[in-house]
Structure 1
Amino acid sequence: MPLIKRSVALIDSLARNQKQVRKRNVAIFIHDGVEILDFAGPSEVFAATEGFTVYTVSLSKEPIISQGFVKIIPTYDLTDCPRPDIVVLPGGKTGPFLNNKPLIDWIKRCSEQAEVMLSVCTGAGLLAKAGLLDGKQATTFHSYIEPLQRATPKARILRDTRFVDNGQIITTAGVSAGIDGALHVVAKLKGLAAATQTARYMEYDKWKPDEGLVVKQPGKVAADTR
């Protein structure tokens, strides 16, 4: 093989290898009053799966309090957070943050490039405030369904649904459902075998890969397996 062709082949091979080893950034937004399992569940899933770099981000780097007794120091704030490929928006006491303009603007900016925007529980309210649920189906914590529907008349908020996958925008029901949503994201990006391996490692026997609604995307077939 001529030297030039060998060089081109080597460059192509290195590029493919770099693409394969590149880890996806997972930014998990935390705030005062965040529900522990809302963020800890997805954190465990992504941290236990090869190919993801997981970190926390908050409005500032000051410690936040979860569940009234757990103090957490965020790794980043909104100004220095690395560009995320996946954004996780947990729930809990999200009400005080729905009108936080820097946060909502950050969510909007992230959505312009991120592969996945995943909400857990009442974190769906943050997606709604950013206008990312308009024209979509979604789900959330059972007691937040009606308030979210009133606040987001252009969306359809579903009951009795573990997660709803609209492509980039994925919402889950409350608390433990965030684990299912994160496993679904792993299966979507890295394959069912990878997600199954992570669920097995976590001994999360509850997980049912088909327990959700995958909304039909252009050129794709919908799967409703609730």
Structure 2
Amino acid sequence: MPLIQRSVALMDSLTQNQKQAKKRNVAIFIHNGVEILDFAGPSEVFASTEGFNVYTVSLTKEPIISQGFIKITPTYSLADCPKPDILVLPGGQTGPFIENKPLIEWIKNTAAQAEVMLSVCTGAGLLAKAGLLDGKQATTFHSYIEPLQRATPKAEILANTRFVDNGQVITTAGVSAGIDGALHVVAKLKGQAVATQTARYMEYDKWKPEEGLIVKPSGKVAAENK
């Protein structure tokens, strides 16, 4: 191969490697009883947007069952999961996992380095157990608001709110609201135009970019449209 062709090939390879290196790791924690749309919605958003490397993680690599009839084999376990830049914690039957000490410790350790910790539905309970909602406003599935408030007295759990953005920690309401939360993360990290393009690809006509509540570092609301 002539020198010029080799140089061009090398540059192309370096460019491709740089693009791959810039991808953010999106780990989606799945567990027995996880709500289908809770994890599938954010999965679709991030997988449909350039710049994200999306994978599933669970306690082990053993298959899990979602809502009683869908068997899913996790890509990674907690032990070998690549470092997440974004961790998505879907809801569903989260009760047994809130008391799982290795999982909660892993969530705490992940939060120490991750850009975004995103919960959907009752997944907010995992953030709360890890102490990540203390002193913050948050939201969750409508029937879980009161139980979460009782379990997290240092937080303010809001009803009728599609998502709450506290900076690193972002919580959403139930089920389909995870799509809105993930699109908000895309807009936050890659710009509104990119998020709009993803929503259009998904034909998610319901999305309202301004919907939700964004909290400034001071604790004051920066934007709100419930």
Q: TM-score, normalised by structure 1?
A: 0.90
- Cα distance, 1:219 vs. partner? 11
- Cα distance, 1:224 vs. partner? 1.6
Matched residue type, 1:99: E
- 5+ residue gaps in structure 1? 1-13
The equivalent of 2:89 in structure 1 is 89
SS in 2 for 1:103: helix
- Cα distance, 1:217 vs. partner? 1.9
The equivalent of 1:63 in structure 2 is 63
Structural mapping, 1:159-170, within 5 Å: 159-170=159-170
Matched residue type, 1:200: R
- Cα distance, 1:225 vs. partner? 2.2
CA RMSD between the two structures: 1.9
CA distance, structure 1, for counterparts of residue 114 and residue 177 of structure 2: 21
Matched residue type, 2:65: I
- Cα distance, 1:138 vs. partner? 0.1
The equivalent of 2:109 in structure 1 is 109
- Cα distance, 1:36 vs. partner? 0.1
Structural mapping, 1:164-203, within 5 Å: 164-203=164-203
Deviation digits for residues 53-84 of structure 1, max 9, x if unmatched?
00000000000000100000000000100000
CA distance, structure 2, for counterparts of residue 220 and residue 189 of structure 1: 21
Structural mapping, 1:1-226, within 5 Å: 18=18, 22-218=22-218, 222-226=222-226
SS in 2 for 1:42: helix
CA distance, structure 2, for counterparts of residue 108 and residue 144 of structure 1: 22
> Which stretches of structure 1, 4 residues or longer, exceed 4 Å deviation after superposition?
218-221
SS in 1 for 2:189: helix
Q: Answer whether contact 2:213 2:221 (CA < 8 A) is retained.
A: no
Percent sequence identity is 84
CA distance, structure 2, for counterparts of residue 105 and residue 172 of structure 1: 22
SS in 2 for 1:222: strand
CA distance, structure 2, for counterparts of residue 71 and residue 99 of structure 1: 23
CA distance, structure 2, for counterparts of residue 75 and residue 186 of structure 1: 23
- Cα distance, 1:18 vs. partner? 3.5
The equivalent of 1:7 in structure 2 is none
Matched residue type, 2:35: E
How many residues were matched structurally? 212
- 5+ residue gaps in structure 2? 1-13
Matched residue type, 1:132: L
Q: Answer whether contact 1:21 1:51 (CA < 8 A) is retained.
A: no
CA distance, structure 1, for counterparts of residue 187 and residue 133 of structure 2: 23
CA distance, structure 1, for counterparts of residue 87 and residue 114 of structure 2: 7
- Cα distance, 1:218 vs. partner? 4.9
Query: Are the structure 2 counterparts of residues 69 and 140 from structure 1 closer, same or farther at C-alpha, using a change threshold of 3 Å?
Result: same
CA distance, structure 2, for counterparts of residue 218 and residue 137 of structure 1: 12
